[in-house]
Amino acid sequence: MRDVAVVGVGQIKVSEHWERPLREMAVDAAMRAVIDANNIELKDIDMLVVGNMLGEITDTQAHLGALIADYLGIDGIEAYRVEAACGSGAAAFRAAYMAVAGGFADIALVIGVEQQTNVFFSDITLGLAMAADAEYEILHGASFLALNALLKKLYLDKYSDVSEEDLAMFPVIAHENAVHNIYAMYRYKINVSKVINSPYVAYPIRLFETAPISDGAAAVILAPLEDAKKYTDTPVIVKASEVSTDRIYLASRDDILLPKAIRISTEKALRRARVERKDIDFFELHDAYSIMAALSLEASGFAEPGSAPKMATEGAYHIGGDLPILTMGGLKARGHPVGATGVYQIVESVIQLRGDAGKSQVDGAEVGMAQNVGGVATTVITTILARGD
Amino acid sequence: MRDVAVVGVGQIKVSEHWERPLREMAVDAAMRAVIDANNIELKDIDMLVVGNMLGEITDTQAHLGALIADYLGIDGIEAYRVEAACGSGAAAFRAAYMAVAGGFADIALVIGVEQQTNVFFSDITLGLAMAADAEYEILHGASFLALNALLKKLYLDKYSDVSEEDLAMFPVIAHENAVHNIYAMYRYKINVSKVINSPYVAYPIRLFETAPISDGAAAVILAPLEDAKKYTDTPVIVKASEVSTDRIYLASRDDILLPKAIRISTEKALRRARVERKDIDFFELHDAYSIMAALSLEASGFAEPGSAPKMATEGAYHIGGDLPILTMGGLKARGHPVGATGVYQIVESVIQLRGDAGKSQVDGAEVGMAQNVGGVATTVITTILARGD
């Protein structure tokens, strides 16, 4: 098994790109990654893995591996799509990482892409609900938003010292950091009052606690670490990429507020990477809803159950704090183009570890963790990356 | 990189299972594979890869990796879905194979599953068309069947000595072999006259040249070869599993009648397996339409262009012939539950190589090849398997 490095990254601005076909966004992000890597041309790529959830719903299109390889002009290569709901991007990364580590591919391209704004809102709501259990949840009208609302309600009931204001710090942090990210959808600051005075979209979740419906594409290029210096001066090592799952039907879980897929994938990743929690310099977590940000921190073992919102209020998660999170805006402010999100998280982590994050830079960042969540913490992929120079 | 073996296989009868939920079919096939393997229990499985194309359309359900892991009672493990249109099954196998070979998983379960008969025919027709190019083909009303019809028309025009009767031999062979397969959908013989007198479904393709809309699930368990004898007396070695793609929009291809994804994936597989064409004892090809059977044989280099139908008529492809194909019925008679088909092909190949194929047995079979096709030969996965004892 070879060590693997990220040698090129690319992304387009997350936005409402309803005028841009999915395939065009994917090719745009991929070309940026190819340009970012030195001495790699399209013809050198021998594998493509695409992360996407909603292609059938939004573009009447399956078979995105071959489609995007074709539109990149590299048809002939190995290509397919990996799907794990909103975790599709990092799951695709995981598949490509294994291929390079095992010697099955030398230069692998991972593209996360999602187009959501070109269809009616009701179609997207149904599409996203397909991350949940169709027969036991969707059938009863439980949208994905509704399931997260139940989670927030349970959390606030259980931890009565947590206020809405505390939880509202997660979107505040996200927006604060997005200001400096030219690829972010919402580049403006908000405050706690803005969050807790925004309307409910599904009680008790308020509008400013939710990541926006958005379009985007991000790409990374993987190569064996031993060759990485040929392609970049600042290789970033993939120390771990580990997946775990939980029961899909929420009512069947033992402890819905400490999702085991988060815990297990984090523990596997730390073990594989041979690092400890204190070594993690920043954490790109999956704040599709602010409740999910809290659960990620707590189930990952970075905060005691019920304590993450209070720690957010106390400043632990700002850039400069103990564990900076959402350093370029997170899902809330960078945007959440579902199947692309996991790849955006990795792209942003790589930029941090290269020291190229500008005003978002975490000082001396050497090890970063990205955690991509499919469903209500049903599939969780935890990736640990480290400076390779 | 470790050698990998198939140590357990399971399948359910391909049929119209409109009363059975997708998840239940998947669990049924998986449990049969677990029972087939000695000394493997569910708790030993550390990875699940699901091959499925149409879950969103037929079951309003994405996220099948986590869903099926949950319903198997092994939530917590690594799981996701791989999609490559009708090639999803073998693409899922490829991903799991790489994981075991690279040391990322020790016992990996691959499930191919598809439910098609529980929705309206028009929905399935649209769903299957998503294997093609939505913006350039589907938009013009080109169903998947229509695209294959164009291919047959081109083939008959180019090779004027090929008769409809010659091409009709492929379904005849499939039905002949399905008689002995208890898991096949259509277990009766047909003759050439039956095929060429059946009605056109899309000129010039006739009803009896098409694989049926059907439901099913198949599963295999992979383990490192060095451990294989613990789990089975008859391990089957995965000698190669290689993927290639072609341009998705048919009109943009150089030579539509010699699909390069078939050629490249076959050549890569033969090279990786270190075997020659003459060493292949049987070939489970992808006869979704009889024209595709001919193209598979020709582009794979087992027949000169334009000659496969005539060779079929001359008996080359019957059991006992030079290169038996479709030994348990193929897509035409066993049935074609899209994302499950690639796994069925591998299950059947394993049964042949174990010498357990009964009246369908190819005498002395030591090396077999299975080829799963996504789209109109757009993604092609070629798997070479060999007796491991």
| Helix/strand/coil (H/E/C) assignment for every residue in chain A | CCCEEEEEEEECCCECCCCCCHHHHHHHHHHHHHHHCCCCCHHHCCEEEEECCCHHHHHCCCCHHHHHHHHCCCCCCEEEEEEECECHHHHHHHHHHHHHHCCCCCCEEEEEEECCCCCCHHHHHHHHHCCCCCCCCHHHCCCHHHHHHHHHHHHHHHCCCCCHHHHCHHHHHHHHHHCCCCCCCCCCCCCHHHHHCCCEEECCEEHHHECCECEEEEEEEEEEHHHHHHHCCCCEEEEEEEEEECCCCHHHCCCCCCCHHHHHHHHHHHHHHCCCHHHCCEEECCCCEHHHHHHHHHHCCCCCCCCHHHHHHCCCCCCCCCCCECCCCHHHHHCECHHHHHHHHHHHHHHHHHCCCHHHCCCCCCEEEEEEEECCCCEEEEEEEEECC
Residues in chain A where the model's pLDDT stays below 70: none
Residue A371, token pair as written in the block: 């955690």
The C-alpha atoms of residue B209 and residue B226 are separated, in whole angstroms, by 43
Reduce the DSSP state of residue B282 to 3 states and report it.
strand
Tokens 């509704």, residue located: A146
Nearest-angstrom CA–CA distance, B77 and A375? 15
- Residues B5/B10/B14/B17 CA torsion (nearest 10 deg): -140
Query: Is the pLDDT at B356 greater than 90, yes or no?
Result: yes
DSSP-assigned beta bridge partners for residue B113: B217
B191 interfacial to chain A (CB closer than 8 Å) = no
Q: Which amino acid is at B160?
A: S
Q: Is-contact B243 B91, C-beta < 8 A?
A: yes
Cβ pair B66:A133 closer than 8 A: no
pLDDT digits (tens, 9 = 90+) for B13-71: 999 999 999 999 999 999 999 999 999 999 999 999 999 999 999 999 999 999 999 99
| Residues of B labelled catalytic | 86, 336
Which of B255, B273, B257, B233 is closest to B386 using CA atoms?
A: B273
For the four alpha carbons of B38, B44, B49 and B55, in that order, the dihedral sign comes to positive
Measured distance CA(B172)–CA(B186) in Å, rounded: 12
User: Could you tell me the CA-to-CA distances from A108 to A46, A78, A95, A220 in Å, in that order?
Assistant: 6, 10, 10, 8
Band of residue B389 on the pLDDT scale cut at 50, 70, 90: confident
Alpha carbon B325 to its chain's center: 12
Which residue(s) pair with A382 in the sheet? Answer: A242, A371
List the catalytic residue out of A86, A175, A286, A318: A86
Beta bridge partner(s), residue B338: none
Which residues in chain B are closer than 8 Å to A77, comparing Cβ atoms? Answer: 244-245
Contact B53, B85 (CB under 8 A): yes
Whether the Cβ atoms of residue B236 and residue B387 lie closer than 8 Å to each other: yes
Identify whether the C-beta of residue A288 lies closer than 8 Å to the C-beta of residue A211: yes
Instruction: Tell me B87's DSSP state.
Output: T
- In chain B, what are the helix, strand and coil shares in percent, each to the nearest 5? 40, 20, 40
pLDDT in tens, B256-286: 999 999 999 999 999 999 999 999 999 999 9
Q: Which DSSP symbol is given to B54?
A: -
Q: Which of B344, B283, B268 is nearest to B318 (CA)?
A: B283
Pairing of strands A47-51, A78-83: parallel
Residues whose CB falls within 8 Å of the CB of residue B7, separated by 6 or more in sequence, listed in order: B37, B40, B221, B222, B223, B228, B231, B232, B235
Res. B289 pLDDT band, cuts 50 70 90: very high
Report residue A183 as tokens: 């690829």
Q: Which two tokens stand for residue B167?
A: 């091409």
Contact across the interface for A246 and B76, Cβ inside 8 Å: yes
pLDDT at B131: 95
Q: How many CA atoms lie within 13 A of A165 on its CB side?
A: 4
pLDDT at A1: 87
Q: Hey, which residues 264-303 in chain B have their CB within 8 Å of chain A?
A: 264
The count of CB pairs under 8 A between chains A and B is 214
Given an 8 Å threshold on Cβ–Cβ distance, is A80 in contact with B91? Answer: yes
Do the Cβ atoms of A59 and A127 come closer than 8 Å? no
The backbone torsions φ and ψ at residue B226, rounded to the nearest 5 degrees and listed phi first, read: -60, -25
A119: its two tokens: 């269809």
Does the annotation mark A86 as catalytic? yes
Note whether B132 contacts A63, CB cutoff 8 Å. yes
Q: For chain A, how many residues are written?
A: 389
Whether B243 and chain A come into contact, CB under 8 Å, resolves to yes
Helices (H), chain B: 22-36, 55-59, 64-71, 88-101, 121-129, 144-158, 164-167, 169-178, 192-196, 228-231, 260-273, 290-299, 308-313, 338-354
List CB contacts (< 8 A) between B375 and chain A.
63, 66
Q: Does B126 touch chain A (CB under 8 A)?
A: yes
Tokens coding B300:
């794979």
Which domains are delineated in chain A? 4-120+214-236 (3.40.47.10), 141-210+239-387 (3.40.47.10)
| Bridge partners (DSSP) listed for residue B138 | none
Amino acid at site B372: N
A176 touches chain B (CB under 8 A): no
Among A175, A286, A318, A336, the active-site one is A336
Write down the residue that tokens 């600051």 correspond to. A189
What's the rounded Cα separation, in Å, for the pair A325 and B361? 60
State mean pLDDT over B83-111. Answer: 98
Q: What is the ipTM of this complex?
A: 0.97
Helix (H, G, I), strand (E, B) or coil at B155: helix
Give me the mean pLDDT over the B181-206 stretch: 98
Please tell me the least confidently modeled range out of A12-16, B133-137, B147-151, B282-286.
B133-137
Residue appearing with tokens 């050698």:
B3
CA of A313 vs chain B CAs: smallest distance (Å): 32
Question: What are the chain A neighbours of B21 within 8 Å (beta carbons)?
Answer: 135
Do residues A265 and A84 lie in contact, with contact meaning Cβ atoms separated by under 8 Å?
Answer: no
Letter for the amino acid at A132?
A: A
Decide if A37 contacts A7 (C-beta within 8 A).
yes
Task: Report d(CA B112, CA B85) in Å as an integer.
Answer: 12
